[in-house]
Amino acid sequence: MKLLLIISLILAVAIGTQARVNNDFNNCPEYFYRAHVPSGFQGIAKSDLFDRKKLPDGINVNDLSSPAYICQTFDGSNRFATLYDRGRRMPLYSAYIMDVKASESEKNCKRVNTFRVEPQLAYRGVTENMELVTDAKSGLQKYNWDKKIGERKEENRPMYLLRTSQALDYDYGNTTYDRGHLNPCGHHTVSRDEYKATFTLTNAVPMLPEINQVWSVYENEMINMLTDQKEEIYVITGIVPGNVPIKEGGLSAPTHVWNAYCHVDKNGKPKGVGAALVQNTMGSKIGKFNNIGDFQKKLQDLLGVINIELFSNGCKPEK
Ligand SMILES: *[C@@H]1O[C@H](CO)[C@@H](O)[C@H](O)[C@H]1NC(C)=O
């Protein structure tokens, strides 16, 4: 009996769908320097938007905790990590490893403009991959069919599940805001799936086109830091949430966008650390920080939290 249980557990892990949306980042620690998940962000997220009196039949309420920890998966593999605020339907940050040299970068990222969604923010039991809306809809429909969940109830329908669990293109329609990448395509070699994987709405926030432009100039400057492909630059890009909706009943634009990086040499030793911050308002300029402690204090003030630690040991060389 026990043996059977163990065998079926092993099988479930080996062949079953792996939840990539979870309550921690244990399935993708590789995107954080020395596997240190930034502290201080846990309390910022708002609770999910599902109506408890009309909870979809396929949803387990324990799977709705906010923030959601997304191991961003494309074509079956991890590509980066996102801390997702279900209530705001927006990422609080994305963490990734920059993998591009200046000669291989494509500054404008025009090759892909369809954004994907995260089916597991609706049902944990569906594909681990980010998908186009049409595919995500059929996946949710198939799940309902398999589990005999009726779609006569509006809240069991795929589109209700998707739009209540995350932002969709519709949320950006008729607004003056861009779908601004946190993990930018420009920090990944064009031929890699890491590049394509950045085009997912759980990695996007409403950014004024002007600020998106200012920010991308800074992102392009960062590319020049990577001189040797064996080095690594761990980057965390996040927001300070705002509360002015970009259209009625919709997403609120963040007040700020920020990032911090930890640059390690080919032996894994830190060789540089820094951060930047910009306000998401017309005419704003980028502020840069060479001291990560100063930046963390600034971020704590803006977010109204304590104990923000972005990198293991502040990305200082270990003694
Ligand atoms: C944009 O506005 C038009 C006209 O009011 C409306 O028909 C359309 O549904 C809106 N689209 C979005 C994405 O909000």
Q: How far is the CA of 172 from the centre of ligand 1 (A)?
A: 10
pLDDT score, position 7: 53
H or E element at residue 171? helix 169-172
User: Residue 108 CB: number of other CB atoms within 10 A?
Assistant: 8
Residue of 169, 174, 179, 248 to test ligand 1 pocket, by largest number of atoms within 8 Å of CB: 174
pLDDT score, position 12: 45
Residues 42, 67 contacting (CB under 8 angstroms): yes
Confidence of residue 137 (pLDDT cuts 50, 70, 90): very high
Confidence of residue 104 (pLDDT cuts 50, 70, 90): confident
> What residue owns the CA closest to ligand 1's atom 3?
174
What's the longest Cα–Cα distance across the chain?
68
> What residue owns the CA closest to ligand 1's atom 1?
174
Q: How far is the CA of 50 from the centre of ligand 1 (A)?
A: 24
pLDDT score, position 111: 61
For residue 179, pLDDT over 90 is answered with yes
Confidence of residue 45 (pLDDT cuts 50, 70, 90): very high
Region 143-159 average pLDDT:
98
User: Residue 314 CB: number of other CB atoms within 10 A?
Assistant: 14
pLDDT score, position 89: 98
Q: How far is the CA of 174 from the centre of ligand 1 (A)?
A: 6
Nearest Cα to Cα of residue 182 among 304, 47, 84, 271: 84
Region 80-108 average pLDDT:
90
**Buried b / exposed e along 206-235 (16+ C-beta atoms within 10 A):** bbbeebbebbbeebeebbeebeeeebbbbb
More confident residue, 179 or 102: 179
Indicate which atom in ligand 1 lies nearest the CA of residue 172.
Answer: 13
Residues 295, 36 contacting (CB under 8 angstroms): no
Estimate to the nearest angstrom the gap between the alpha carbon of 259 and the chain centroid: 13
Nearest Cα to Cα of residue 232 among 193, 272, 197, 192: 272
Interatomic CA distance for residues 66 and 23, integer angstroms = 8
Region 150-160 average pLDDT:
97
Name the phi and psi angles at 159, rounded to 5. -70, -35
Region 105-112 average pLDDT:
69
What tens digit of pLDDT does each residue of 183-225 get?
999 999 988 999 999 999 999 999 999 999 999 999 999 999 9
Q: Which of 15-29, 131-145, 226-240, 268-282 has the lowest mean pLDDT?
A: 15-29
Residues 254, 90 contacting (CB under 8 angstroms): yes
Residues with CB under 6 A from ligand 1: 170, 173-174
Region 163-170 average pLDDT:
97
Confidence of residue 318 (pLDDT cuts 50, 70, 90): confident
Residues 128, 111 contacting (CB under 8 angstroms): no
> What residue owns the CA closest to ligand 1's atom 6?
174
pLDDT score, position 171: 97
Interatomic CA distance for residues 51 and 256, integer angstroms = 30
% of the chain at pLDDT higher than 90: 85
Q: How far is the CA of 173 from the centre of ligand 1 (A)?
A: 7
- Give the three-class secondary structure for 301: helix
Q: How far is the CA of 175 from the centre of ligand 1 (A)?
A: 10
pLDDT score, position 2: 52
Q: Which of 1-15, 140-154, 285-299 has the lowest mean pLDDT?
A: 1-15
